[in-house]
Chains A and B, each alone.
Chain A
């Protein structure tokens, strides 16, 4: 397997409502990631993740190319998925030998629409989407089933939220952060029982970008490259009724294939837009109590749709660069109730 490393990462502030267009949000982020990479344009490959449904603007992903710079014409691809899958495509492209450098970016501008409703459009269009089950309600079905089966309580969920928000105090790009008492969180009303506001990721607009470089060239431009030592993604059936919502089999399989268990994990960045999903993911990944989970605050504190998974990989890489982790695991999810999951193992040496 060809060695590939993440050598730079940048992200937008994750504001609740951006008045800038997608290029205006993305361009400074791409510029920052490119400048930090030490690699000059053009990149051998460019790949992005986004969904036009979020902002209700057709071909927003084509317009976003202005931020990447498509002149002279560049080899480029796009996934209608979280940017973590764009990273996967770029990684595969580098594995094939067709590229040595890649720019990967993702953006999501959710504020123009009603995100939980917009996400209902990803469901079966004939028998499920017409009933408009919103994303929060579906997550609540999963949370109820999980709490009943696992013996965890709503207090455990509130503790996940409080810990995440406390961690996010050191993340300047977090939408939500601060010290919150579990008792006070539990005193707030449910929005979709058993979920409360703190159990759900905030809606925000954002963008992230990073640069991948192969082998020795990565060593030349980066003092301590974050090497991708394993990466895999798995999907489960579309029908929610066909799955066991209380576990994440796809995450467990992806983790096995990516080799999560082959060494000690210092840090894990998990893409859990709902508190109970963090607990499901910890189980699926087999993370011990000594693993630092979501030092950035995670998606519960900054969840730019289509970019939050890629941001997890960038945050995990940042922990490798700053030396606080020798080995880190990043996870990204897509689809309702953790339908699809990607696991990436990063190492500093």
Chain B
């Protein structure tokens, strides 16, 4: 085939842009809190819902949130999925459960994974608690919470959770 008839199938055009990201005021406070082993949410002045991680606003009422609320690191599973395929980004043994945890005192579920529990026992309503990295390893990232584990408390009835599914 003559050269002019051959398609150009590949060109390399490297693109690189660097950014100095800033998390915003509310999320920065949350991340600093995580670095101290605390989970900080914010309450909406209008609907009174508590959000975590906070973004400085209530997405339902479209008003700023400023009141800070320190949340428990215990909560209730509102939904879950059993993961059986490896992901290089999640460093826990297979199979594991990815879960939505409704932290006590909060109105929006929080994403994490559950360990120290056979996956066939994970259920909606199960009580769980955060397992943190050792205090000296705490950083301002969600990697500071390694996973959640069952507390052994009685389940929360579905009726009390259905609003948060």
Residues of A bordering B, CB below 8 Å: 18-24, 27-28, 30-31, 41, 53, 55-57, 63, 65-71, 111-114, 117-118, 121, 125-126, 129-130
**CA of A27 to CA of B13, assembled, Å:** 38
Known contacts A27-B64, A66-B62, A130-B13; is-contact A21 B20 (Cβ 8 Å):
no
- B62 proximity list for chain A (CB < 8 A): 27, 30-31, 41, 66-69
Query: Across the interface, do A24 and B13 meet the contact criterion of CB distance under 8 Å?
Result: no
Query: Across the interface, do A121 and B15 meet the contact criterion of CB distance under 8 Å?
Result: yes
Query: Across the interface, do B57 and A27 meet the contact criterion of CB distance under 8 Å?
Result: yes
Query: Across the interface, do A112 and B59 meet the contact criterion of CB distance under 8 Å?
Result: no
Residue of A19, A28, A41 with most partner-chain B CB within 10 A:
A19
30 contacts between A and B (CB under 8 A): A19-B25, A21-B24, A21-B25, A21-B27, A23-B55, A24-B25, A24-B56, A27-B56, A27-B57, A27-B62, A30-B62, A53-B17, A56-B19, A56-B21, A63-B55, A66-B55, A66-B59, A67-B62, A69-B59, A69-B61, A111-B20, A112-B19, A112-B20, A113-B17, A113-B18, A114-B18, A117-B17, A118-B17, A130-B13, A130-B15
Which B-chain residue is minimally distant from A54 (CB atoms)? B19
Q: Is B2 an interface residue (CB 8 A)?
A: no
Interface residues of B in 25-60 (CB under 8 A from A): 25-28, 55-60
Query: Across the interface, do B59 and A71 meet the contact criterion of CB distance under 8 Å?
Result: yes
- A112 proximity list for chain B (CB < 8 A): 19-22
**CA of A114 to CA of B22, assembled, Å:** 14
Minimum Cβ distance to chain B for residue A103 (Å):
10
- B11 proximity list for chain A (CB < 8 A): 126
Q: Chain B 105-145 against A: per-residue CB contact (8 Å), 1 yes, 0 no?
A: 00000000000000000000000000000000000000000
Query: Across the interface, do B59 and A24 meet the contact criterion of CB distance under 8 Å?
Result: no
- B25 proximity list for chain A (CB < 8 A): 19-21, 24
Q: Is B23 an interface residue (CB 8 A)?
A: yes
- Top 9 closest A-B pairs, CB basis? A21-B24, A69-B62, A56-B19, A130-B13, A71-B60, A112-B19, A66-B59, A66-B57, A24-B56
Query: Across the interface, do A121 and B17 meet the contact criterion of CB distance under 8 Å?
Result: yes
Query: Across the interface, do B59 and A20 meet the contact criterion of CB distance under 8 Å?
Result: no
**Interface SS, B side:** loop
Query: Across the interface, do A56 and B24 meet the contact criterion of CB distance under 8 Å?
Result: no
Which B-chain residue is minimally distant from A132 (CB atoms)? B15
Count of A-B residue pairs with CB < 8 Å: 88
Query: Across the interface, do A21 and B19 meet the contact criterion of CB distance under 8 Å?
Result: no
Query: Across the interface, do B20 and A126 meet the contact criterion of CB distance under 8 Å?
Result: no
- B20 proximity list for chain A (CB < 8 A): 111-113
Q: Which of B21, B63, B64 contacts A57 (CB under 8 A)?
A: B21
Query: Across the interface, do A114 and B57 meet the contact criterion of CB distance under 8 Å?
Result: no
- B13 proximity list for chain A (CB < 8 A): 125-126, 129-130
Query: Across the interface, do B64 and A24 meet the contact criterion of CB distance under 8 Å?
Result: yes
**CA of A67 to CA of B58, assembled, Å:** 8
Minimum Cβ distance to chain B for residue A171 (Å):
25
**CA of A22 to CA of B21, assembled, Å:** 12
- A118 proximity list for chain B (CB < 8 A): 17
Query: Across the interface, do B17 and A21 meet the contact criterion of CB distance under 8 Å?
Result: no
Query: Across the interface, do B61 and A21 meet the contact criterion of CB distance under 8 Å?
Result: no
Query: Across the interface, do B57 and A23 meet the contact criterion of CB distance under 8 Å?
Result: yes
Minimum Cβ distance to chain A for residue B12 (Å):
9
- B28 proximity list for chain A (CB < 8 A): 19
**CA of A270 to CA of B28, assembled, Å:** 37
Minimum Cβ distance to chain A for residue B3 (Å):
19
Minimum Cβ distance to chain A for residue B117 (Å):
33
Q: Which of A19, A21, A56, A113 contacts B55 (CB under 8 A)?
A: A21
- B57 proximity list for chain A (CB < 8 A): 23-24, 27, 66-67
Query: Across the interface, do B17 and A56 meet the contact criterion of CB distance under 8 Å?
Result: yes
Query: Across the interface, do A129 and B21 meet the contact criterion of CB distance under 8 Å?
Result: no
- A114 proximity list for chain B (CB < 8 A): 17-18
Known contacts A20-B56, A70-B59, A130-B13; is-contact A28 B21 (Cβ 8 Å):
no
**CA of A21 to CA of B124, assembled, Å:** 34
**CA of A295 to CA of B108, assembled, Å:** 47
**CA of A129 to CA of B55, assembled, Å:** 35
Minimum Cβ distance to chain B for residue A39 (Å):
14
Further contacts, 10 of them, CB under 8 A, given A19-B25, A23-B24, A112-B19: A18-B22, A19-B28, A20-B25, A21-B25, A23-B55, A27-B62, A30-B62, A57-B21, A66-B62, A69-B60
**CA of A224 to CA of B130, assembled, Å:** 58
Minimum Cβ distance to chain B for residue A120 (Å):
9
Residue of B23, B24, B61 with most partner-chain A CB within 10 A:
B24
Query: Across the interface, do B21 and A24 meet the contact criterion of CB distance under 8 Å?
Result: no
- A130 proximity list for chain B (CB < 8 A): 13-15
